[in-house]
Amino acid sequence: MVHLFCLRGEKLAFDPVSGSLHQLDEAAWRVLSLLLEGKDPRAEGKELEEACREVEELRSEGLLFTPDHFSSLYEPPPFAPKSLCLMVAQACNLRCSYCFAGEGDYGAAGIMPEEVARAAVDFLLESAGPRRAVEIDFFGGEPLLNFPVVVATVRYGKQRARELGKEISFTLTTNAVLLDEEKERFLLEEEVNLVLSLDGRPEVHDRFRRFPDGTGSYQRVLPNIRRCYQNWASRPRSSYCYLRGTFTRMNLDFSRDFKHLVEQGFRHISLEPVVAPPSAPHALREEDLPRLLAEYEELLSEYLERWRRGEEVYFFHFELDPAGGPCLNKRLTGCGAGFSYVAVDVKGDLYPCHQFVGKEEFRLGSLKEGLTRPDLVDEFRHAHIYRKTPCSSCWARFLCGGGCHAAAYFTNDSLLKPYSLGCALMRRRLECALYALAHKKAWVLSNSPKAI
Amino acid sequence: MKRHIKTLVAGSKPRLGGCGECQASCQSACKTSCTVGNQSCKQVK
């Protein structure tokens, strides 16, 4: 299989198994199109002969039509979480009306006691087995509502990891309302990765991200986010700090939000499609797809223009790592929810990921009882791309990993039926990412891409 | 030198096996539409 696509006037071919990307002229495009239709391009006459030879050369070099023999080699990994999402606060100081967590409480408001957080650290370090690196993500709700437990968990986690010869890293996702200088100092000194929520333009952010009294939070959080980001950027870094926004059908022109964030001085940005029931007025719809796909291309133009000017701007979904990406198991199982990644709620109950928290039918067990639903774990272990009909033949499968289990379940009632709108967005993001990868590389080498 | 095709990225097949140390997708900046292609292997780096 080869994926042919046009972007910004260029004809491109992506070989999914080898991860190779090629720029084509009209003759090569015609040859590959005919081959994909099962036709013989040589029957078209002599003018395609040279392009045919080049295609065959690339095929023999393993850079085109590379066969996929991986399905028979795959063994689903065992239940061995190496990454926990800790719901330290199932409560929030904002009332974002698009929140998938029911305004932050997941249907059961509460604050995680320190002993639950410590038990979660112990569970993680034991369950990780021989793996050296483990991770904890402070999530909510708003985790800064329970900052003392965040501090205690970071200290305890680092101490226990050191004693056991392991490495532990932390991530914290916050709306930044409570992100004062003292908290910021702790998080930066402890090298906690930060995900700071900001949707983009003030009116876009304030439409959904409001305080309980209905006022918008943009003006309140921007100074905190700016200060924290600048302080992070000025330090030698082993952690990351990303601004993360959500777009909905109310801002299909989200490339303007990307531009706004860049103009505010931010250089690490992630903008994500909203997770919402189809009946919600802000939910993305199939009819929005042409606009959404075009918008990613618009965002790509802005992104590339910045790079062309020598500005390093990172859009999370455009940053592919073709040479140093993850190994096969990771690529086939995606996020690992339910077996290598689990969420722990405020009571210590275990769920496959943060999006399943509070859904009783997805409760895997608890820190006290251990695993009580091995059958459910097995469902997640076996929800890999070769068992998902659309994924097994999709060109994007080794870059996507099969998509979000929660999105699949909540839209199609099955872990094996991916959220089709999400797939379409993913494929366009990956096309843009491949294009960006090739062109950034060319600029870095001071060798601007030339039309062939 | 090919006249009709310019290879922009010569990729490599996904590595078999693996150490299992790579970062969980949900530890990254997306939170809701995870992917794996933009993750990096610590052993390769």
Sketch the domain layout of chain A as residue ranges: 1-67
Residues A104, A110, A111, A115, Cα dihedral to 10°: -130
Give φ, ψ of A327 to 5 degrees.
Answer: -75, 175
Question: How does strand A83-90 pair with strand B5-9?
Answer: unpaired
Residues A94, A97, A99, A100, Cα dihedral to 10°: 140
Of B8, B23, B41, which is closest to A327 when you measure between CB atoms?
A: B41
Please tell me if residue A199 touches chain B, with a CB cutoff of 8 Å: no
B-chain residues near A63 (CB < 8 A): 7, 10-11
Task: State how far residue A213 is from chain B, nearest Cα, in angstroms.
Answer: 27
Pick from A338, A393, A386: nearest CA to A361: A338
One DSSP character per residue, A224-259 reads: HHHHHHHHHHTS--SS-EEEEEEE-GGGS-THHHHH
Walk along chain A (452 residues) and give the pLDDT tens digit of each residue.
999 999 999 999 999 999 999 999 999 999 999 999 999 999 988 899 999 999 999 999 999 999 998 877 777 888 999 899 999 999 999 999 999 888 788 888 899 999 999 999 999 999 988 889 999 999 999 999 999 999 999 999 999 999 999 999 999 999 999 999 999 999 999 999 999 999 999 999 999 999 999 999 999 999 999 999 999 999 988 899 999 999 999 999 999 999 999 999 999 999 999 988 889 999 999 999 999 999 999 999 999 999 999 899 999 999 987 777 788 888 888 888 999 999 999 999 999 999 999 999 999 999 999 999 999 999 999 999 999 989 999 999 999 999 999 999 999 999 999 999 999 999 999 999 999 988 886 665 444 433 33
Question: How does strand A365-366 pair with strand B5-9?
Answer: unpaired
Lookup: tokens for A278 = 């189809």
Please count the residue pairs, one from chain A and one from chain B, whose beta carbons lie less than 8 angstroms apart: 229
Of A58, A275, A341, which is closest to B26 when you measure between CB atoms?
A: A341
Pick from B23, B26, B45, B30: nearest CA to A134: B23
Q: Is A76 exposed, middle or buried (0-12, 13-18, 19+ CB in 10 A)?
A: middle
For residue A85, the SS3 value is: strand
* Chain B contact probe: residue of A329, A356, A445 with most B CBs at under 10 A: A329
A-chain residues near B15 (CB < 8 A): 327-328
Stretch (H or E) spanning B9: strand B5-9
Give φ, ψ of A433 to 5 degrees.
Answer: -65, -40
The alpha carbon of A340 is separated from its chain's Cα centroid by a whole number of angstroms, namely: 16
Please tell me if residue A35 touches chain B, with a CB cutoff of 8 Å: no
Strand ordering across the sheet containing B5-9: A3-7, A10-15, A20-24, B5-9
Structure ipTM over 0.95, yes or no = no
- Identify the closest residue of chain B to A402 by CA–CA distance: B35
